[in-house]
Amino acid sequence: MVQRQVPNPAEILELMKFRKPELNGRKRRLDAALTIADLRLIAKRRTPKAAFDYTDGAAEGELSLSRARQAFQDVEFHPGILRPAPDVDTSVDILGGPSALPFGIAPTGFTRLMQTEGEIAGAGAAAAAGIPFTLSTLGTTSIEGVKDANPHGRNWFQLYVMRDREISYELTRRAAAAGFDTLHFTVDTPVAGARLRDKRNGFSIPPQLTLGTIVDALPRPWWWFDFLTTPKLEFASLKSTGGTVGELLDAAMDPTISYDDLAVIRDIWPGRIVIKGVQTVEDSLRLKDAGVDGIVLSNHGGRQLDRAPIPFHLLPSVRQAVGDDFTVMIDTGIMNGADIVASVALGADFTLIGRAYLYGLMAGGRAGVDRTIAILRSEIERTMRLLGVSTLAELEPGHVTQLTRLVPVARAATETAAR
């Protein structure tokens, strides 16, 4: 029989420990976000549909994006036991300089449309965290403005080769003059991908006040207040900003971009140069032979060619082909610090986050970006401790198995025949 007693008032009082209420609404909602997925939900509630869908969406059926995220979920870790890792070192040297974490902020276009603090919030948060920040050619803050926001940290610049080559050349010179140390020469955007959410939403730059956007704005007056009471959007390279995103990209980009353009930019750029948008082993080897400083395995976040290769799946083959003495970075689909740990284990020197950063930005401005970085840092450290590793250098392919979901037909037939 369970012995029962009259409740003791003193014991009840010990249990009644109420938290001090948080009166700051932004801090309250950000503190409640425990994952990047939580930040995404907050961002969706606080951002007009067209701007959120521009960030969240991808090309056509959005298969590339969903497959990239699924690839990270289809990971099995293999922890080592009785290997204490009470303290972990998440720092890394990348492209001639330090980063406190194995990820940086990827280039994103039209960033102030998501939330008015835009690139200033991203650069400031990167500076505070000791990680690199990458400014897009289509950013809404100038090269010099980002330098002011991150005067002592590492700034990188992402370059599109435009139809008017002189625009690209001048941007390259400005970034070099501002002390940006690495150039991301982007090769996967000869034309714009078919971003159907934007077309269906009638999304344009800048946003147009229509009946639909007004109705959508009613529950989000703060977004429109910020948009209408802050300086007009300014782009790093485009003087004309009217039209859909696809129209702007098609007007600016040049499908004739080639190795000759790369040679010209290399003559102009004094720092390190990496090629962003690499999607095959063969191109990885050609670029290494061409003498660039590194590559970014990327399908542009699934926003260009739908059904493009999954960068995380491509990573082990590329690392094996190019060897250990060549910088390989990866983006697309990263939503958890464990995704970053798995990437490093399989050969990535560094990773870049795009949407994860923007979800934080939309959820809470600069404080939201800080929260994104804090969440990923915590997940990285916890995953490393659970694997039994103290440094990123200890991570190796044996820590990770990529579980098979999509198998090429030829390979599947060979394996069946072998049985």
Residue type, position 285, single letter = L
Residue type, position 134, single letter = T
The rounded distance, in Å, linking the Cα atoms of 306 and 409 is 19
CB under 8 Å to 352, separation ≥6 — which residues?
103, 104, 105, 106, 134, 296, 298, 329, 330, 331, 334
Residue 226's nearest CA partner among 118, 91, 81, 109 is 118
The rounded distance, in Å, linking the Cα atoms of 351 and 328 is 9
Token digits of residue 54: 């521009």
CA 28 to chain centre: 25
- Cβ–Cβ under 8 Å, residues 324 and 216: no
CA 183 to chain centre: 16
Residue 155 — φ and ψ, nearest 5°? -115, 135
Residue 52's nearest CA partner among 34, 68, 40, 70 is 40
- Cβ–Cβ under 8 Å, residues 206 and 240: no
Residues belonging to the active site: 300
CA 237 to chain centre: 21
